[in-house]
Amino acid sequence: MFPRELFVEHVSLDKTYNAKGLDDLMNGRIDLFVSYTKEDKLEEVQSRVPLLKKVVLLYDPLAFYVHADNKVRDLSAAQIRDIYTGKIQNWKELGDSDETITTYHLTSRANVSGAAFDNIVSGIHLDANHQERDSMPEIVDTVADDSSALANIFWSYEAKMYANKNTRLITVDGKNCKDKDYPFLFPIYMFYDGANPKQQLHQLVQYLQSE
């Protein structure tokens, strides 16, 4: 909890990287916007908010989940890409049962982890067995019900908000999500107008950056 005197009205914690939060920031409806976002989404904002500040709040790992009964414990980053593009299509190629792999991820419209995944597979044609889902609970529940599944969401959500005993986290290149050199770490940013006169806003940003 941050001190009461640092409270700022109209703080937006947006679950998507789409234009809404940044648009609200541009138009002065909010003071602070927290999200992962792609660089190309910032061009319009920077043209209208010349002193736009983008500060890293934290790094959230994009985690990969399988059904709890899956024997695979670790995949390389290259294997994950090969699975999503169809070069690897069956779990038996990776040490599990003879079952066609079905991959899942969130749409980038739905959540920031969908946007992060878009960065991983940018310019790559996804396999025909790939499916999208519109919410993180739907992703978790799908993996829990599908023994062929490989899916990804930000680790902080499944670990702290919507865990399911029928899903299991796998390591990537021998690294788990808590490791600083985990291969798929993505920055979550705070965006605000550096020219905003509210002292409380700048105090809050400073506080959130402190350890």
Phi/psi of residue 22, nearest 5 degrees: -70, -35
What is the pLDDT, as a whole number, of residue 168?
Answer: 93
pTM value > 0.75: no
pLDDT score recorded for residue 134: 76
Q: Centre a 10 Å sphere on the Cβ of residue 62 and count the other Cβ atoms it contains.
A: 24
Instruction: Return the pLDDT at 4.
Output: 44
Q: pLDDT averaged over consecutive 10-residue blocks of the chain (211 residues)?
A: 49 55 81 74 74 86 93 94 89 95 75 54 60 83 95 74 86 93 86 89 87 68
Chain centre to alpha carbon of residue 58: 12
- Could you identify the residue written with the tokens 């609200």? 24
